A and B are shown apart, each in its own frame.
Chain A
Amino acid sequence: MRHKHWRAVYNNGTILKQIDGDIENKFGDIDLSRLNKFELVSNNGFIYTVLLNPLRKLIYFVRVTGSFGNGENKIDEVHHIGYEQDGEKHIQKIND
């Protein structure tokens, strides 16, 4: 179970949450054309925010790394969050 989940804030103020009660929305459900703000919300309440505008393209994915063969099931998850503007990528890496 992840400790951080995204929240998409649209330019009309409505919000699409990744986890909304018993419903889990997919990243692909986000209408990127209406996105004003993208937030990564930690279970402890800390919020990472990307402010967006027509010149900024959202970047977000989770890089998941794990192994087998050594008896471990440890999985590392790192959120990559940021934006691309004028060909330059600005990304922050945040451990889950």
Chain B
Amino acid sequence: MSAIVSLTIATGVGETLHEGELAINYQNDDAVTDPASSPISIPAAPALAYSYEKYAKLKFDGTFTAITNVKIWKSQGVLPDGVNIKGDAVEEAAYVQPVTTASSIALNDVPENDTDAVSLQPAAGITVTGSYSKYLVSQAVISGGATAQTLATQTYRWRYDET
């Protein structure tokens, strides 16, 4: 055995944890449900529309001594004109209820290569099974006048070093 990694998404006022998720759904709802049921309305230009912020973190179970160098980036998927995904990291303790207005945390475009990847390494380190990385707080930003469509699947890639 070794470390076992999984995706956890937090929602709500009280940081409800949804363990073992398979994707981050950008939608007009603070939930992990099918995004098709809560689409984001496209505003008239030059206004912007926002998905709810998505708080996602990696959970480390299994047997290990330490997990270091945890990083994440978007590795595949082309965003259509007028759609951006912003994302930055915060410590777990900084969780606040996700908003559907402009995020004060997710300010930069999610990097698309490992060189510029977002570090999810928490300051306290990861040495105990069941520990989490920092949160990646991300948000889809829709420009006024964008074409209505279902956003094609984007792929996030993560990496860490294990001893």
- Chain A interface residues (CB < 8 Å from chain B): 1-2, 24, 26-29, 60-71, 77, 80
Contact = CB atoms under 8 A, between A and B. Distances in A.
A26 B66 CA distance: 9
Contacts of B147: none
A1 B1 contact: yes
Given A24-B63, A27-B65, A28-B66, A66 B5 contact: yes
Contacts, number: 67
Of A1, A26, A67, A68, most buried by chain B (CB within 10 Å of CB) is A68
Q: Majority SS of interface residues in chain A?
A: strand
B113 to A, nearest CB: 13
A68 B156 contact: yes
Contact of A67 (B66, B156, B161): B156
B41 to A, nearest CB: 24
Interface string B136-150: 000000000000000
A26 B163 CA distance: 8
B154 A27 contact: no
Given A61-B161, A71-B22, 11 more contacts: A2-B2, A24-B63, A28-B163, A61-B68, A62-B162, A64-B160, A66-B157, A66-B158, A67-B158, A68-B22, A69-B153
B156 A69 contact: yes
A64 B157 contact: no
B99 interface: no
B128 to A, nearest CB: 12
A70 B153 contact: yes
Contacts of A27: 64-65, 163
Contact of B158 (A24, A26, A65, A80): A65
B163 A60 contact: yes
Contacts of A70: 76, 153, 155
Contacts of B65: 26-29
